[in-house]
Chain A
C-alpha cells in the first residue's frame, strides 16, 4: 500500500502528553519523518529516523516505531505545539521509491 493513515484531529490538555500515530505498510521498511506545520508557514521537520531531532527542536518531541505504526509523542505539550502534524516515508511499491505523506493530524492544545 502507498498510503499513510493519521487521525484527523487529536487534542491534549496543556502540560499533558499526547501521541500522534501514522500507519502504513511502508513503515515496516522505512522510518517515518514527522513535520509540524503552523498556519501560513512551511512545514518544519521535528523527528526523523529512529528518534532524531533536528537542532532547535525541543526534547519534548520524540518518535518511535513498531511494525506498521510510527508515533510522535509530545511530552508536556505547550500551547505553541498546537499545529498540524504530518508523517512521511517512502513507498516501496512499483519500480521507484516514491514519497508518501500522511493526511495530517490537527493537534489542539486545550
Chain B
C-alpha cells in the first residue's frame, strides 16, 4: 500500500522560505504525477503545483513566481519550496499522488485525473 510521509518546518517568519519534503513508500514512483496542495485555516483546497519523475513541473499561476518543486528519484521523494512567505501562506500543506487515464470512444479521448493518495498534512504557520 502506497504511503506518503511528509515533513518540514512548521513555523516561519515573514520573508522566509517554506521547505517541505514528501517521501513515497510502496508502489511506482515513475507512473504518476506528484502534487502539493494547501488549505488555509477554515478555507478550501488550493493546488500549488506538480512534478513527475523526470522533473517536468506545472505550477499554479498565482504562486508560480515563488514556487519550486523538485524531485529526487533516488529516494522517491519530492519537495516544495515557497519563497518570501507571508501570513497569507499559513495553511496545512498536503502532498498527493495523481493518477491519469483516459477513455476512448466515438473517435475521441476523454481524460481524467485523480489524487488517490494523500499525505497527512503539515501545518505551516507564518508569524513574526
Contacts and interface: CB of A to CB of B under 8 A. Distances in A.
Contacts, number: 70
Contacts of B116: 45, 48, 54
Contacts of B94: 42-43
Contacts of B45: 35, 43, 86, 88, 101, 104
Q: How large is the interface on B (under 10, 10 to 19, 20 to 34, 35 or more residues)?
A: 20 to 34
Interface stretch (A17-25, A72-80, A89-97): A89-97
A42 B113 contact: no
B47 A98 contact: yes
B115 A31 contact: no
Contacts of A31: 110-112
Interface of B: 35, 37, 44-47, 50, 58, 60-61, 94, 99, 101, 103, 110-116, 118-121
